[in-house]
Chain A
Amino acid sequence: MIELGIFLTLFCLGFFVGSYAEKQHYKSIVEREQKFMHLVTTSSKRPVGDIGAVRKTHLVRGNAVISVDYFKRIIAGLRAIVGGNVSSYETLLDRSRREAILRLKESCPSASQIINLRIETSSVFKGAKDQTGSVEILAYGTAIYAEK
Chain B
Amino acid sequence: MIITNTEEVTGKKIVKCLGVVSGSTVRAKHVGRDIMAGLKNIVGGELRGYTELLTEARDEAMERMQSQATQLGANAVVNVRFSTSSVAAGASEIYIYGTAVVIE
Tell me the A residues contacting B by CB distance below 8 Å.
40-46, 48-49, 76, 79-87, 89-90, 92-94, 97, 101, 117-123, 129-133, 135
Contact = CB atoms under 8 A, between A and B. Distances in A.
B27 A85 contact: yes
Contacts of B13: none
Interface of B: 7-8, 17, 19-20, 22, 24-31, 33-34, 60, 78-81, 83, 85-91, 93, 95, 97-99
Determine chain B's interface SS by DSSP, over half rule: strand
Contacts of B91: 76, 79-80, 86, 89
B20 to A, nearest CB: 5
A89 B89 contact: no
B86 to A, nearest CB: 7
Given A43-B79, A43-B98, A97 B17 contact: no
B25 to A, nearest CB: 7
Contact of B79 (A44, A92, A97): A44
Nearest to B17: A48
Best-surrounded residue of A90, A101, A120, A121 (most CB of chain B within 10 A)? A121
